[in-house]
């Protein structure tokens, strides 16, 4: 995975304390990893502000470790913090310390780190997210409403894979997530130059100043958020008067979701939260990404049977063009490790039955004939310049971390 292009716009948004709303600033030059609003203190570890509310004891322990000069222990404590949907107990402090050492020393890869941090099923989701239909739909939604924004701000950014796509093409990225461990892995493996913030947006809003003209995205996560109306207000505030708010892959509660978590809404209920927004069938953006054509907007009634929905506010067309399916300059692509050849046919080998079921419609990952198998076989030895765009769009080649 190649280094990101640096943007000439290096000034990040201002940060605010999530409990008081007052501006945050370094406590003093000697302690750049401790910030204050003049009342309380908040740790900034590996350049990631930890602004999650309701974690006072954890915050105090991290601050104490930083004041004692034990940076790795501070990281390990934060790596154990989980979201409310975690199904597996966190690792011990000792195990988290081993992960910190392995990642920072260059001896541990992304998948091993996620497994040892007890990500559970989420580990496989992130490891293969670039191959998933939901990832393609995110890129399709962004492309259809691309305004060449000064920044893309992603709410619930995970380990930063969508942010990387926009940053590779020169747009600065801001990622916000409630789980510090995801952001820390993003920093080390995916988007080392992104501006990352750990915060619970549903509980305390976005602790950022307005980024006028920004695109603010929440993809494959909005249905998990309890205060959806409040989160949308915050997204619109940060985007400013000239920005864009995009919500993608919001599950439809009227359709069988195979036990999906969170609190999905119906198309009509989502539309009430997003008046005057363009509404779409999220699955249509997968086809849009693959075939490079726009997706028509639909009414909520027309989307009653859609598995998931996407929304864009304002509803107007993109002001600029971008193609996330074309290789970014200087990126070294590698064969998708998910793909295997069985009986002469190319097909994905999903690591879990759950992913195989959820992504059964990822037809673009399957070969149609012997010519496709031969094309992929050649690509494992090095694709030609003419082949690279086709193979990337179908996710047969990927931009993977060096220590995937």
Residue 195 is predicted with a pLDDT of: 97
Beta bridge pairs of residue 154:
175, 217
| Helix, strand, or coil (residue 215) | strand
Mean pLDDT of the chain, nearest integer: 93
Cα 36 to Cα 59: distance, rounded to the nearest angstrom:
13
Give the pairing type, strands 173-177 and 34-36. unpaired
Residues 6+ apart with CB under 8 A from 180: 45, 48, 50, 52, 78, 79, 81, 198
Residue 354 banded pLDDT, cuts 50, 70, 90: confident
Q: By CB neighbour count within 10 A (0-12 exposed, 13-18 middle, 19+ buried), where does 226 fall?
A: exposed
Residue 357 banded pLDDT, cuts 50, 70, 90: confident
Q: What is the pTM of this model?
A: 0.94
The encoded tokens of residue 300 equal 């909520």
Q: Mean pLDDT, to the nearest integer, of 251-262?
A: 79
Name which of 173, 221, 180, 219 is nearest 199 in CA terms. Answer: 180
User: Looking at beta carbons, which pairs linking 6-10 to residues 24 or more positions away fall under 8 Å?
Assistant: 6/193, 7/167, 7/170, 7/171, 7/172, 9/150, 9/151, 9/172, 10/172
**What sections of 49-179 are H helices per DSSP?**
56-67, 71-79, 93-105, 110-116, 121-127, 133-144, 161-168
The encoded tokens of residue 188 equal 């080390």
Cα 318 to Cα 199: distance, rounded to the nearest angstrom:
30
Q: Which residue has the higher pLDDT, 351 or 198?
A: 198
For 198-208, how does the pLDDT look when each residue is reduced to its tens digit (9 = 90+)? 999 999 999 99
Counting residues of the chain whose pLDDT is more than 90, the rounded percentage is 80
Q: Which residue has the higher pLDDT, 263 or 74?
A: 74
CA distances from 286 to 135, 346, 362 (A): 8, 20, 9
Residues 6+ apart with CB under 8 A from 44: 32, 33, 34, 35, 50
Asked whether the predicted pLDDT for residue 266 surpasses 90, the reply is yes
For 141-200, how does the pLDDT look when each residue is reduced to its tens digit (9 = 90+)? 999 999 999 999 999 999 999 999 999 999 999 999 999 999 999 999 999 999 999 999
Residue 2 banded pLDDT, cuts 50, 70, 90: very low
Residue 6 is predicted with a pLDDT of: 43
Asked whether the predicted pLDDT for residue 256 surpasses 80, the reply is no
Q: Please spell the DSSP secondary structure of 276-308, one letter per residue.
A: T-EEEETTHHHHHHHHT-PPPP--TGGGTT-SE
CA distances from 382 to 342, 349, 391, 397 (A): 21, 22, 11, 10
Residue 343 banded pLDDT, cuts 50, 70, 90: confident
Name which of 143, 83, 125 is nearest 358 in CA terms. Answer: 125
For 235-255, how does the pLDDT look when each residue is reduced to its tens digit (9 = 90+)? 999 999 999 999 999 999 999
Cα 289 to Cα 264: distance, rounded to the nearest angstrom:
25
């Amino acid at each position: 995975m190649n280094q990101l292009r640096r943007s000439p716009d290096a000034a990040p948004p201002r940060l605010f304390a999530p409990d008081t709303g007052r501006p945050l600033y370094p406590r003093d030059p000697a302690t750049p990893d401790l910030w204050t609003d003049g009342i309380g203190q908040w740790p900034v570890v590996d350049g990631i502000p930890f602004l999650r509310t309701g974690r006072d004891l954890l915050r105090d322990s991290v601050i104490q470790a930083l004041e004692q000069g034990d940076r790795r222990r501070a990281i390990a404590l934060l790596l154990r913090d989980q979201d409310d949907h975690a199904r597996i107990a966190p690792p011990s402090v000792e195990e988290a310390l081993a992960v910190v050492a392995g990642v920072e020393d260059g001896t541990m890869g992304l998948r091993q780190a996620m497994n040892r941090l007890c990500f559970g099923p989420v580990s496989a989701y992130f490891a293969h997210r670039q191959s998933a239909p939901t990832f393609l739909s995110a890129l399709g939604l962004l492309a259809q409403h691309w305004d060449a924004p000064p920044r893309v701000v992603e709410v619930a950014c995970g380990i930063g894979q969508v942010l990387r796509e926009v940053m590779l093409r020169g747009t600065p990225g801001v990622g916000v997530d409630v789980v510090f461990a995801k952001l820390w892995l993003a920093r080390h493996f995916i988007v080392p130059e992104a501006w990352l913030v750990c915060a619970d947006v549903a509980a305390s809003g976005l602790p950022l100043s307005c980024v006028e003209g920004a695109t603010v995205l929440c993809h494959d996560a909005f249905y998990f958020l309890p205060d959806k109306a409040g989160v949308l207000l915050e997204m619109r505030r940060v985007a400013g008067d000239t920005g864009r708010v995009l919500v993608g892959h919001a599950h439809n509660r009227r359709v069988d979701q195979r036990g999906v978590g969170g609190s999905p809404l119906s198309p009509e209920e989502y539309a009430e939260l997003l008046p005057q927004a363009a509404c779409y069938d999220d699955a249509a953006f997968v086809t849009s990404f693959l075939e490079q054509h726009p997706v028509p907007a639909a009414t909520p009634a027309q989307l009653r049977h859609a598995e998931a929905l996407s929304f864009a506010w304002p509803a107007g067309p993109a002001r600029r063009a971008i193609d996330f399916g074309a290789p970014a300059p200087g990126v070294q692509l590698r064969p998708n490790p998910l793909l295997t050849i069985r009986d002469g046919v190319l097909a994905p080998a999903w690591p879990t039955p759950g992913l195989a079921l959820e992504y059964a419609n990822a037809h673009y990952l399957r070969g149609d004939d012997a010519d496709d198998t031969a094309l992929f076989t050649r690509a494992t030895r090095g694709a030609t310049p003419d082949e690279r765009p086709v193979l990337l769009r179908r996710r047969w080649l990927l931009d993977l971390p060096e220590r995937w």
